[in-house]
Amino acid sequence: MNDDIKAVQSDVDRYGALSALSTSEGGQVLVKTLAQDAMSAIANLAGQYKTLPDTEMRALCARLSVTLSLYRALTNAQTNLDGAKDELQKLTEDSQ
């Protein structure tokens, strides 16, 4: 198995695990909570941007960034899995 196939297989495994998590009951609760956390951070930024100290503004932005990254990882998992599976199929067909 060449390195490209190994790398894409690793992606398939990772996205498969994320997809399974996101479709589970607990994963759905997590996605909903992440969306609520993101909205809360946005509301805090919008409401306090004029008076918030720089360090607190950065902390809120960092919180929002992490929350959105986790949200995207879970909500895009199935799409990423499908793409990785397609790529893996192409790679394995080309290597034969």
pLDDT tens-digit readout, 51-92: 999 999 999 999 999 999 999 999 999 999 999 999 999 999
- Mean pLDDT for the stretch of residues 30-35: 98
What is the total count of domains within the chain?
1
pLDDT computed for residue 60 by the predictor: 95
Instruction: Determine the structural domain holding residue 66 and report its residue range.
Output: 3-94
Here the tokens at position 53 are 């100290």
Per the CB < 8 A criterion, the answer to whether 31 and 75 are in contact is yes
pLDDT category, 96, cuts 50, 70, 90? confident
pLDDT computed for residue 25 by the predictor: 97
CA-CA distance, 37 to 33, in Å (whole number)?
A: 6
Q: pTM for the full model?
A: 0.87
pLDDT category, 1, cuts 50, 70, 90? low
